[in-house]
Amino acid sequence: MKLFLDTASIEEIRTANDWGVLGGVTTNPSLLAKERESPESVWKEILTEVPGDVSLEVTALDADGMAEQGRRLAQMGPNAIVKVPMTPAGLEAAHALHADGIRTNFTLVFSPAQAILAAEAGGYCVSPFLGRLDDVGADGMAALRSICDIYAVQGYDTNVLAASLRHPMHVIESALAGADIATMPFAVFKQLVKHPLTDSGLEKFAADWKALHGELEKGA
């Protein structure tokens, strides 16, 4: 399972990239709004910084507008994926984009039914939003598991991109369910590496090493 960052912050992207485990990036209009810079310049910087796929979201609400915007976004880099919402207009726009050979990521997906549509429409990725389902008292992980099972039974090759992940267990369970990609905020990315036993173990190794050298110096 590839690990993606769900951010438009170039600093966060650079840090995760330095760890050598960043598979790609997903952005959305809310994340770009946080950066308070021109979206075009932020997108360009991310596309250059990250070798993997970067999802750039359309903001038009009608099919023609989405398709036109999607064509422009796709031209920004070979690793650009056009994010379209799972709506009738989004499906129509994706159909037009696929005819031009442009890869799409269906976003705001909340049900297995919508995920079937995304696959039948030839989406490159489908993004079920786990955390937002949990927020309304539904079971986001159960929806993801069903989507992964349906895709396996049907032989769909659309990539399942587990999105709206809020904590490390979401990431672990997504991997177990068979998701192809998990996208998460930087805070969750950092939590993946943390374990108190790693920290205390490291402290103990360092202390024992120092003590050994102290004894050797005394004996010399």
**Contacts with ligand E4P, residue ranges (CB under 6 A):** 6, 26, 28, 107, 127, 129, 131-132, 163-164, 183
The DSSP secondary-structure symbol of 138 reads S
Of 32, 89, 21, the closest CA to residue 55 belongs to 32
* H-assigned helices in the chain: 10-18, 29-35, 39-49, 63-74, 88-99, 112-120, 130-135, 140-154, 168-177, 186-193, 196-219
CA separation for the pair 164, 10 (Å, rounded) = 19
* Minimum CB distance to ligand E4P smaller for 169 or for 207: 169
Q: Least distance (Å) from ligand E4P to the CB of residue 162?
A: 9
Q: Least distance (Å) from ligand E4P to the CB of residue 183?
A: 5
Q: Least distance (Å) from ligand E4P to the CB of residue 26?
A: 4
* Minimum CB distance to ligand E4P smaller for 6 or for 211: 6
* Minimum CB distance to ligand E4P smaller for 140 or for 218: 140
Task: Give φ, ψ of 128 to 5 degrees.
Answer: -75, 135
- Annotation says 83 is catalytic: yes
The DSSP secondary-structure symbol of 104 reads E
CA separation for the pair 23, 37 (Å, rounded) = 24
Residue tagged 């650009």 (tokens): 80
* Minimum CB distance to ligand E4P smaller for 55 or for 63: 55
Q: Least distance (Å) from ligand E4P to the CB of residue 8?
A: 10
The DSSP secondary-structure symbol of 51 reads S
Which residues carry out catalysis? 83
